[in-house]
Structure 1
Amino acid sequence: MLIKTFGSAVQGVSAYTITIEVNVSPGTKYFLVGLPDNAVKESEQRIESALKQYNYKIPRQKIVINMAPADIRKEGSAYDLTIAMGILAASGQINPDRVGQYMIMGELSLDGSLRPIKGVLPIAIQARKEGFKGIILPAQNAKEAAIVNSLDVIGVQNILEAIEFLDGRREIEPLLVDTRDIFNNAVDIYAADFADVQGQENIKRALEIAAAGGHNVIMIGPPGAGKTMLAKRLPSILPPLSMHEALETTKIHSVAGKLGEAASLLTTRPYRSPHHTISDVALVGGGGNPQPGEISLAHNGVLFLDELPEFKRTVLEVMRQPLEERRVTISRAKTSIDFPANFMLIASMNPCPCGYYNHPDKECVCGPGIVQRYLNKVSGPLLDRIDLHVEVTPVTFDEMTATRKSEDSVFVRERVVKARALQTERFKEIPSVHSNAMMQPQMVKEICQINDAGRTLLKTAMERLGLSARAYDRILKVSRTIADLAGSESIKIEHLAEAIQYRSLDREGWAG
């Protein structure tokens, strides 16, 4: 008897349907075809053990299982439940009528219980798109799949529940989740707040500008000055996620298996902080079955690289294209996959190996040329993609013990949201541009126009401070954001003056 069951495979952040054709006929042997990998081939032993727990069995007949389309490699153990239901229906052990109405996915344990799988959200979206009545999957994944409406999400704890449900002997109520309610109740709730930071008002101002324009930032300062503490609080002043952004971000984390069992929808902007020993594949994504890397997991959020010069040169260089294009393309011999990577890069570094160059109190012990050599570990092309260079100085005792409360993130966010609204209106005709940081050089010339006084100031600054040519566009972009925060239609001389001071590493002789 020939039966078709349906599963799904995830490629990139999208899913496509896999048809499992099971034919049980007189004869012997078990054949699994359709380009399965070793994990899929090993499903026979897991299925056999799981079925025995509940007095079902794999029939001792000829069983041919084809996973179509047969030219695409099937990977992972998530097809266990799909294949098991196909075998039971094809051998007459359960009623086959309902089997084809549901997409079925789940990894089996030897005792028949189900283990959670990755990529449930894109799979559920594909199931609804293709008109399936519902999806049967492990109970741990049900909340995640229930984000998708108009789809019956049947969460099961073990294979017996799935068998009895498909056989019509057990009723399982579909899990219903009010996605809007979850989103509205949890959106933008952060544990860290700018109010926790005493002093550092100039750095907070720089991060507010970065958040308002979507600019990348590098902070240079001695150990213990508060660079990491400030970076952790940046997501709390970014504009709240929209529903579309929340779903897009959740899909990426679902594919990577980073959603917890209790999580269904990401409602806060992600903050990723990989260690400096990370490999280039782990950072940008890849592998035999390409998976999203840290830059994609930081999509719509913040990627923080602490101790930037300690990262391997090759790791930093692979970020250059994603920073420019806001996506990363993973190419393999048979396929090419795009992962979104629209993130804000926040980097921090010590000014020298000992950490105390330019320190107001402690003396730097690094020899001549050591500081410049240390800074040269970060390439010019990468610095070219970072708009704000901020010097962080240690907090004084008086600032640390001050009783005056710092400004809460919610008030800073209000100003950021207003500035972003101006940019949304400005770029409404250009779908690929959403913030000032994303402007191309031609757009900078049209939008960031300055008067004669501003032109004279910028010329003087570039000559006296030895600013590089690459600093020119960056200063104009940042000054446009500062003007937006001030509610100004034009870039004034004070906006330019503030933007110029955020180019520390472009100054000739900064490192001696």
Structure 2
Amino acid sequence: MIVKTFGSAIQGVNAITITIEVNVSSQGNKLFIVGLPDNAVKESEQRIESTIQCMGLRMPRTRTVVNMAPADIRKAGAAYDLPIAAGIMAASGQLPAEQLDRFLMMGELSLDGTIQPIKGALPMAIQAQQDGFQGCILPRQNAREAAMVRGLQIYGVSHIAEAIQLLTTPGSLAPVLPEQDDFYRSQDIFDVDFSDVKGQQSIKRALEIAAAGGHNAILIGPPGAGKTMLAKRLPTILPPLTLQEALETTKIHSVAGKLPAHTGLIIHRPFRSPHHTISDAALVGGGSIPQPGEISLAHNGVLFLDELPEFKRKVLEVMRQPVEERRVTISRARTAIDFPASFILIASMNPCPCGYFNHPEKECSCASGQVQDYLNKVSGPLLDRIDLHVEVTPVKFADLSSTHRAEKSTYIRDRVIAARAIQAARFAAYEGVYCNAQMHSSLLSEVCVISEQCREQLGRAMQQLKLSARAYDRILKVSRTIADLEGSNSVTSAHMAEAIQFRSLDREGWGN
């Protein structure tokens, strides 16, 4: 008897439905699993046999063939245990097969039949909905995540007996209800706030501009000046995630196995801060079975690289293309997979090895030329993709000891949301452009039309401050964002002057 069950395979951040055909014949005495399974799938025989015996049922002792189609897609992991086990029991007449085509099933089995959590439940549920399945049977730990897909019944089970009960007696289990109301209710709750930061008004202003226009920024200053503290608070002033953005972000974290337990959706924009010893594959993604890296886990959020010059140069260089294109392509012999990587890059660094170059009170102990050598660890092409160069100075004692409460993130966030709304209306006709930082050169010349006075001002700045040619586009984009924050239709000389000051590392002689 041939029976079909349905599972799912993950490719990149999307899922592909897998048809699992089981044929139990009257001859032979061996189980065959075909269709390009990996070792974890092949080892399912032992787990399934133990589970069936614990249920008081029997494992077929005749020839059993399990075919996983399409056969040209590699099936990896132990999550296929549940659909294979259900198929074997139905093909051997121990489970009714009428309900099997209604559900997509995935789950790893323990020897006693307990179902373990899996990766990628959300993209599996999205694909199941698109393929017309009535529902999904998934581990209980993954049910809330998958239940965010509207129009699909999600059943969370902790033991295979519950799955069998649902297939035998439809309606015996209640589907998990989506919790999208909690998503909207919790978006404004953060553990940190910009009001916690004493002083540093100019740095807060720079991060507000970065948030409003989606600009990358680098913070340069001595240790203890508050660079990390400020960077960690950037997500609190970014616009709230839309439901579509939350689904995109959750899919990536689900595939990578980074989704917190019993979490339905990612509520806040991600903030990823990898250690400087990270490899290039861990940062941009890779592996024999390509997995998303830190830049994809930061999609729709912030990637913070602390102590930028301490990262290996090779690691930083592989970020060039993803930062520009906002996606990364991992190519292998059989396939090429795209991972989204639209994030705001925030980097921090000391101005020199000792950390006290240009410090108002402490003297730099670095030898001649050592400062420039330290800065040269970060390549020009990478700095070319960073719009804001922000010099961070130590906090004064008067600011530290002040009892005055600084401006809360909520008020800054409101200004950022208003500026983003202006940009959304401006770029409504341009696919893939949502904020000023994403403008390409031809669009820049159309959107950032400046007066003759601003043109002369920018020309003088480039000549007197020895700014590089690559600074030109960045200054225009930042000045446009500053104008949006003020609700101005045109870029004025004041907007231009503020944008020019954020090109510290382009100045000839900086660090000499």
Is the structural similarity TM-score above 0.5? Answer: yes
- The residue that corresponds to 1:425 in the other structure is 425
Name 1:87's counterpart in structure 2.
Answer: 88
Q: How does 1:360-399 map to 2 (within 5 A)?
A: 360-399=360-399
- The superposition leaves residues 219-260 of structure 1 with CA deviations (integer Å, 9 ceiling, x where unpaired) of 000111100000000011011111111111111111111112
| Superposition deviation, residue 477 in structure 1 | 0.8
User: Which structure 2 segments of 5+ residues have no match?
Assistant: none
After superposition, where does 1:168-317 map in structure 2 within 5 Å?
168=169, 171-179=172-180, 181-317=181-317
Report if the CA contact (8 A) 2:179-2:264 is conserved.
no
Superposition deviation, residue 494 in structure 1: 0.8
In 2, Cα distance between equivalents of 1:108 and 1:33:
20
Q: What's the Cα RMSD here?
A: 1.1
Does the CA contact (< 8 Å) of 1:164 and 1:170 recur in 2?
no
Q: Which residue of 1 aligns with 2:33?
A: 32
Corresponding residue of 1:330: 330
Aligned partners of 2:185 and 2:110: how far apart in 1? Answer: 36
Q: Which residue number in structure 2 is paired with residue 120 of structure 1? A: 121
Secondary structure at the aligned position of 1:162 is classed as helix
Q: Work out whether residues 212 and 417 of structure 1, in 8 Å CA contact, stay in contact via their aligned partners in 2.
A: yes
Unaligned runs of 5+ in 1: none
Alignment-derived partner of residue 493 in structure 1: 493
Distance 1:316 1:169 in 2: 54
The alignment partner of 2:161 has SS state of helix
Task: Please tell me whether the aligned partners of residues 188 and 241 of structure 1 are also in contact (alpha carbons under 8 angstroms).
Answer: no
Structure 2 residue 92 is the aligned partner of structure 1 residue 105: no
The number of residues matched between the two structures is: 511
State the one-letter code of the partner of 1:118: K
Give the 3-state SS of the residue equivalent to 1:78 in structure 2: helix
Equivalent residues of 2:147, 2:177 under 8 A apart: yes
Q: Distance in 1 between matches of 2:368 and 2:233?
A: 36
Residue by residue over 1:420-476, the C-alpha shift from the partner in whole angstroms, topping out at 9 and shown as x without a partner, is 111111111111211111111122222222222222221221111111111111111
1:170 is displaced (CA, Å) by 7.9
What is the rounded CA distance, in whole Å, between the counterparts of 1:432 and 1:137 in structure 2?
A: 34
Aligned pairs (5 A) from 1:50-89 = 50-89=51-90
Distance 1:475 1:231 in 2: 22
Deviations 1:371-417 (A, max 9, x none): 10110110000000000000001111111111111000010011111
The alpha carbon displacement at 1:173 in A equals 0.8
Q: Partners of 2:303 and 2:11 in 1: how far apart?
A: 24
Aligned 8 A contact 1:323 1:385 in 2: yes
1:486 is displaced (CA, Å) by 1.2
Deviates more, 1:93-102 or 1:5-14: 93-102
Report the more deviating stretch, 379-388 or 104-113: 104-113
Distance 2:11 2:301 in 1: 23
Task: Give the C-alpha shift of residue 293 in structure 1.
Answer: 0.8
C-alpha distance 74-59 of structure 1, shift in aligned 2 (>3 A):
same
Alignment check: 8 A CA contact 1:302 1:344 kept = yes
Q: By how many angstroms is 1:169 displaced?
A: 8.3
AA aligned opposite 1:36: P
TM-superposed CA distance for 1:53, in Å, is 1.7
**1:408 and 1:327 mapped to 2: Cα distance?**
33
Partner of 1:103: helix, strand, or coil? strand
SS of residue in 2 equivalent to 1:79: helix
Matches within 5 A, 1:456-471: 456-471=456-471
Q: How far is the alpha carbon of 1:149 from its aligned partner?
A: 1.8
Contact 1:3/1:89 (8 A) holds in 2 = yes
User: What are the Cα deviations for residues 272-306 of structure 1, in whole angstroms up to 9, with x where unaligned?
Assistant: 10111111111111111111111111111000000
CA distance in 2 between partners of 1:95 and 1:46 (Å):
22
Q: Match of 1:161?
A: 162
1:57 positional shift: 2.6
Task: Name the counterpart of 1:129.
Answer: 130
How far apart, in 2, do the equivalents of 1:177 and 1:444 lie? Answer: 42
Q: Which residue of structure 2 aligns with residue 401 of structure 1? A: 401
Q: Which residue of 1 aligns with 2:411?
A: 411
CA distance, structure 1, for counterparts of residue 452 and residue 252 of structure 2: 47
Q: Distance in 1 between matches of 2:460 and 2:100?
A: 75
* Greater displacement, 215-224 / 150-159: 150-159
What is the alpha-carbon distance in structure 2 between the residues aligned to residue 86 and residue 45 of structure 1? 15
Q: Secondary structure in 2 aligned to 1:75?
A: coil
1:374 partner letter: Y
Which amino acid letter does the alignment assign opposite residue 449 of structure 2? Q
Amino acid at match of 2:111: L
- Is the Cα contact below 8 Å between 2:305 and 2:348 reproduced in 1? yes
Per the alignment, in what secondary structure is the counterpart of residue 112 of structure 2? coil
Mapped to 1, the partners of 2:161 and 2:443 lie a distance apart of 61
Tell me the equivalent position of 2:10.
10
Inter-partner Cα distance in structure 2 for 1:94 and 1:488: 69
Question: Which whole-Å CA distance do the structure 1 matches of 2:462 and 2:132 have between them?
Answer: 61
Change (3 A) 1:445 1:149: closer
Query: TM-score normalised to the size of structure 1?
Result: 0.98
Provide, for residues 165-217 of structure 1, a one-character-per-residue CA deviation record: whole Å limited to 9, x for no partner. 212288111111242x1222112322111000000000000000111111000
Q: Is the 8 A contact 1:241 1:269 kept in 2?
A: yes
Q: Is residue 507 of structure 2 the alignment partner of residue 507 of structure 1?
A: yes
Distance, in Å, in 1 between the alignment partners of 2:429 and 2:128 is 34
Three-state SS of the structure 1 residue aligned to 2:87 is helix
SS of 1:17 mapped into structure 2:
strand
User: Counterpart of 2:17 in 1: which secondary structure?
Assistant: strand
Q: CA deviation at 1:368?
A: 0.7
Quote the residue 2:141 is aligned against.
140
Alpha carbons 2:237, 2:409 under 8 Å: kept: yes
Partners of 2:364 and 2:227 lie apart in 1 by 19
Task: Give the partner amino acid of 1:462.
Answer: M
Aligned residue in 1 for 2:320: 320
- Aligned partner of 1:134: which letter? G
Conserved 8 A contact 1:6-1:82? yes
Spell out the pairing of 1:425-444 with structure 2 (5 A cutoff): 425-444=425-444
Amino acid in structure 1 at the alignment position of 2:58? K
Alignment check: 8 A CA contact 1:34 1:69 kept: yes
State how far apart, in whole Å, the 1-side matches of 2:455 and 2:343 are: 32
SS for the counterpart of 2:78 is coil
Amino acid at match of 1:474: R
